[in-house]
Each structure stands twice: as C-alpha cells, then as structure tokens.
Chains A and B, each alone.
Chain A
Amino acid sequence: METLKRYLRPEQLRELSLVFLIALIFLFFGTQIEDYFSPRIFNRVTSDMAIIAVVAIGETLCLLTRNYDLSVGSVVGLTAFFTGKLLSFYPETVPPIAAVLFAVGLGAVLGTLNGVLVAYGRVPSLIVTFGTMAIYRSTIVAFPAGTKNVVTHELPEWIINLGRTNLFSIGGFDIKPLVAAGLVMFIIFQLMTSYLRFGRLLYAIGSNPEAARIGGLPSQRIVFMAFVMSGSIAGFGGFMFLTRYGDLTPAAAQGMELMVIAAAVVGGVSTNGGSGTMIGALLGAMMINLLQQSLLRWLVISNFWVGAFLGLLILVAVTVDAVIINRMRDIWARRGAESETVGEKGISEKKGKA
C-alpha cells in the first residue's frame, strides 16, 4: 500500500478508476447486446467521440485556468459552416490544407475575441462566452451566405472521402485520419501541460488566480493564450464536424459545449481550476460516448435515456471528486509535506505535483 501511495497520485488513481469503469461498462453491455464485442463498437465510438474529445482539449486549457469557454459549440458550428460555404463556392480551387488553416484561423480569431475580453477586459469568462456563444451563432445567419444550408453534394469530393476512408486498419479496427489527428493532438497537449512552462502556468494560475497575480505570473497573457488555443482547437473541431456530417444548418453543433464540459468534468478536470489532465478529459469523452453508443443499441430501455444518464454521470463524477478524491489529495499533501522535511526527493515530487 505504501509503495502504491508513493507512485500513484490522486489524479492517476482517478484516471485508472475511469479506465476500470469504462472496461466495466464495456463488459456489461457485452453481456446485454449481441455481437457487441466486435471492432464495430470501437470504430463507432472513436469516430463519434473524436470531435467532442478534440474540442475538450481546448476547454480543458480554459478550465485549468479557472475559466469557462461556453462558446465552443458556436465556434465549432460557425467554422464548420463557413468552411463548408468556402468549399462549396470554390470546390476546385481551395486545397485541403488551406481549408484546414481557414477553419483553425477562423477559430483563432473567435478565441482571440474571447481572450481579449476575459484577460484584458476583465469580464468574467462565464459572461463573455455566454455572450459570444449567442453572438457567434447569430453571426452565421447574419451573413447572406448563412441563410442557405451547407449541403453534401456541393462539397468537393475529398472532404466527403476524408470522413469515410481509413488511414489504416488492424483486423477490422479502423483508424480514420481525423481520429489519428485527434490522438496526436492529445499527446502533444498532455506533454505540453505536464512539462512545458506554459502548461505549468495554467495549473498555477488556476489553483490560485490571486496568488498568481501577486506572485507576478503573466496571468493575463496565459489566460488569453488559453482562450486563443481553445478557439483554434474548436476551429479544427469545426473542420472535423464538416467532414463527418457534410450537411449543416446554422444550428450545427448547438449545445456541444455542454457535452464538451461534461467530458472534461467526468474526466476529472475541476471547474475550480488547477486540476485535471488531458488524458482524463479523453477518458471522460470516451466514457460518455461508449455509454451513448451502447444505450443506442440496448433494447431493454429506450435510447431516450441517454440524456438522463449523462446528467446522473456528471453528478456522480463531481460528487466522487468532492468527497473522495479531495480527501485523498489532503492525505497526499500531508505526506508530501512530511517527506519534504526528509530530503530532496519530496521536493522534486512536489514540484511535479504543483
């Protein structure tokens, strides 16, 4: 037990228990649904969760700094819609890379507006992103181009194919290009938040914004950057949304922000800032999606139960965090304080935790 305690931090224990729970859900539905244990469920879950999981990366960056980005659903919708419009107006001339850059750039612009207002305008993020959520959504219909839907048959061939083809498949397990891209992004951002100065600053600012400000950390710049990144990532999410669905109305991706925040929270990212990991958010997205996909095919109850279950899941996750994980974190912190007096090791451990 002691050795276990030494090597496991509460966050890791939480992630392990998520993995365990996901396995449990998987096994349970395996006994309930015929032909459940097949590559098909893997393919469905990965391609369905990819967008939410990717957008959750940006959301996690904001949540770590104790800010919310409620506008991501509208950013995904807006970038998907206008990238779709761009491609259906110029299906021949726009190269794929330019379309991706357009989506990410558009997302970055929207994220910049959020960031300026939150970091430099000192308007609470909840209010800013509440407002921009409505503003970005209405921007779609404010343009003459926004009054007509994006339809699949006007889009160039490659974008439809991008959503369908596989990068490679191993015995029926298909890896789609965008799923792979999402996975790479997760690895990059996980490394960034755990090892880079920028990443550690996110945690430092989120765990105590006031102390960070007084301590002279560049809070404004970091929070601003978090929002710009969240916007850009949501822009990329918009591109993914376009390739996956093709037909878009101005209401595309409406309400996605709820699913994204739900994924992060179920994955252990605290809305009080300063705690949570990218892997956690990924696991959260995975768990939510596995549940959704499984309930869809479970015949015992109607698939309309998805929403009710999801609400319950979030509630259970935050309750567990508040009651168990926080208590454990106290125990860990006390142990850390003890070993700090013993020697160097404790200090280096503590650094890793901060």
Chain B
Amino acid sequence: MRGILERLRGWEGLLLAILIVVVIFNAVSTPHYLRLQNQINLFQLHIEKIIVALIMTFVIINGEIDLTVGSVMGLAGCVMAYLSEKGVPFEVCLLAGLLTGVLAGTINGFMVSYVGLTSLIVTLAGLIGYRGLARVLLENRSIGNFPEWFNRLGQQPLVGPVPLALIIFFILLIAALIILQWSGVGRLIYVIGNNREVARYSGVNVRRVKMTLFVVSGFIAALSGLLLAARLGSMRGDTATGTELEVITMVLMGGVSIFGGAGSMLGVLLSILIILNLRNGMGLLNITGEIQTGVIGILLILSVLVPNIWRGVKEARSRHRVKRAHVED
C-alpha cells in the first residue's frame, strides 16, 4: 500500500513539474497569458469537459468506463432545446434535460451492474444510440433563442469576473476531492476497482455503487450539456461530439489506471491544468485545434509508456540478478 502511495506521489510530482514548465513557457512566450481574463478564458473554453472529467475519475477508478458522456451532453441539450422550441416553460425544459441525463445514466448503470455487461460495450452502444436520439430530435436544424438570462449565465461573469460554470466546477471539485479521498464511499470505489469479487464477498453492494456512479455520471454530463448550450447560445444534433475522448484523456493522464483501483483526484486536477494550459499556450501560438489534439494524444501514450519502460528496465535488471544467482547455484 505504501508502495502505491509513493508511486502516486511520484507521478503527481512529475505532473506538477510538467505543469510548471508549461506555465513558465506560456508566460515567457506570450505576455497576454498571465492576465486574469486569459486565465479565466482558459477554463471557460473547456469548462464542460473538465466538469465531466471529475465524475469520469470516479467511474474509471471504479473499474468501468462511460463513453456516453459526449452523447448525453448533446442529448440533454437537444431535449432542452426541442422542448423550449415547442413552447414549454423554460424551467421545465432545463429539468427535462437533466432528467434525460439521469435516465441515460440509469440505462447504462442497469446494463452494467444488473445485466452484467462490459461497460465499454454498453456505453459504446449508448454513445451511438443517444447521439442518434439527439439527431432524431433536431435533425439538421440548429435551435437557439434561449431566454436572455440563460445565455447570460453561460457567457457573462456571475461573481466578479468568474462565470457560473467555473463556480460549479470548483464546488464539484471540492466535493469530489472530499468524497473520493476522505470518505468511506471513496474507499469503496477504490476497493471495487481493485478487485470486484473481493469487494462483493466482503459484503460491499457492488451493484449499487456502480449503478449510482453511472446515474451521477449521466446527471453531470447532462448538466454540462446545458452549460454548453448556455455558453454556445444554440444546440445542434452533433454538439459535443467526441467530448468523451478528451475527458478520458484528462483522467488517464492524471495517473488513473484504466483497469481501475488506482489514481487520485489531485493527479486528475493537475492533468486537467496541464491540458488546459497546453491548449491555451498552443492557441496563443496559433497552433490549430487538430494539432493540439494530436499533441495531447502523444502525451496520453507517453504518460503510460514512460513509467512502463522504467519499470521494465528495473525488472530486467532484477531478473538478470536472479539468473546469475541461479547459475552460481
């Protein structure tokens, strides 16, 4: 256990070092970078993704994956837009959007926890299916015309220079930190991710924990979808396509194991900051979004490859020692 903790501390240290390098590089190359407005923009441009990344951390540590988040974001926004176009009171539309997310999460959770299917495939089906439903609702149209206050919430600062979405992110971040690292539920999530069978035989209600996580994941994705709708001011059937990839990249680069059971909220936070700052810096240097995504893809692979090689070298050395001992026997 101490070994794992030490390794994690090492990983987080590395992330912190990378972050510092990126920040210094950005600050030196563009004076505009350090201004408060740019710092807020840096979060605001990807705020929906980083909110979803918080819950995704829980899901992956628990040994599952949720590929539907991008589609649920789109679907929730589209349900909201569709209803508001039909003249339904706007508060009801928002509620319906959130409920859509809960429903989608319930379906995912049910198929994974109670039917016992692999979450990758269930949520792959969801990724295609929920996106399909969003397209059914809006077809090729783009729906805007949301109430003035809703757009203002998404686009204007709420408290001082800080917009609503950023406040939501920080509240959720603190909640996530406390729940995952310092609460009994958090320990359960790690235990299940480490070994589902052992957890089950120890009397942990594995199904209920997994179910809850998927429902919350659906809800948070829907919330992010609505925030995105407010920020963009309109919805289309394909809004938020591919979000799941970036979200999962953020989580995995934060040192969360794809097999579950290992990782920390702090690591994910650092990884989020690295990706945001890297994107911001590259953006200020006029590097296109496509290339930015490629660079982050490289980082993702390296983040797992480098520790692997390091461990491989160590193992080879100790194996060599064992072999020599055998020969001497």
Contact = CB atoms under 8 A, between A and B. Distances in A.
Interface of A: 68, 117, 121-124, 126-128, 130-135, 137-142, 250, 258, 261-262, 265, 271-272, 302, 304-312, 314-315, 318-319, 322-323
A42 to B, nearest CB: 25
Contact of B291 (A117, A141, A311): A141
B132 A137 contact: no
Given A134-B296, A138-B297, A311-B129, 20 more contacts: A117-B305, A121-B305, A122-B312, A126-B120, A127-B252, A130-B248, A137-B294, A138-B295, A139-B294, A142-B291, A271-B121, A304-B237, A307-B131, A308-B135, A309-B132, A310-B132, A314-B124, A318-B118, A322-B116, A323-B115
B115 A258 contact: no
A322 B115 contact: yes
A262 B117 contact: no
A352 to B, nearest CB: 27
Contacts, number: 138
A250 B304 CA distance: 28
Contact of A258 (B117, B124, B297): B124
B115 A314 contact: no
Interface residues of B, number: 45
A262 B290 contact: no
B245 interface: yes
Interface string B301-313: 1001100110010
A134 B242 CA distance: 11
Contacts of B290: 137-138, 140-141, 250
Contacts of B38: none
A344 to B, nearest CB: 37
A204 to B, nearest CB: 21
A312 B300 contact: no
Contacts of B304: 123-124, 127
B227 interface: no
Interface string B117-149: 110111011111111110110010000000000
Nearest to A313: B125
A32 to B, nearest CB: 19
Among B116, B125, B292, residue most surrounded by chain A Cβ atoms (within 10 Å) = B125
Give the secondary structure class of B's interface.
helix
Nearest to B140: A304
Contacts of B126: 311, 315
A141 to B, nearest CB: 5
B135 A304 contact: yes
Contacts of B151: none
B188 interface: no
17 contacts: A117-B305, A127-B300, A128-B301, A138-B292, A138-B295, A258-B127, A272-B118, A304-B135, A307-B131, A308-B129, A308-B133, A308-B135, A310-B128, A311-B128, A315-B126, A319-B115, A319-B117
Contacts of A134: 245, 249, 293-294, 296-297, 300
A144 B33 CA distance: 28
A235 B295 CA distance: 23
Nearest to A323: B115
A271 B119 CA distance: 11
Contacts of B292: 138
Given A121-B305, A123-B304, A319-B117, A308 B136 contact: yes
A305 B249 CA distance: 30
A123 B308 contact: yes
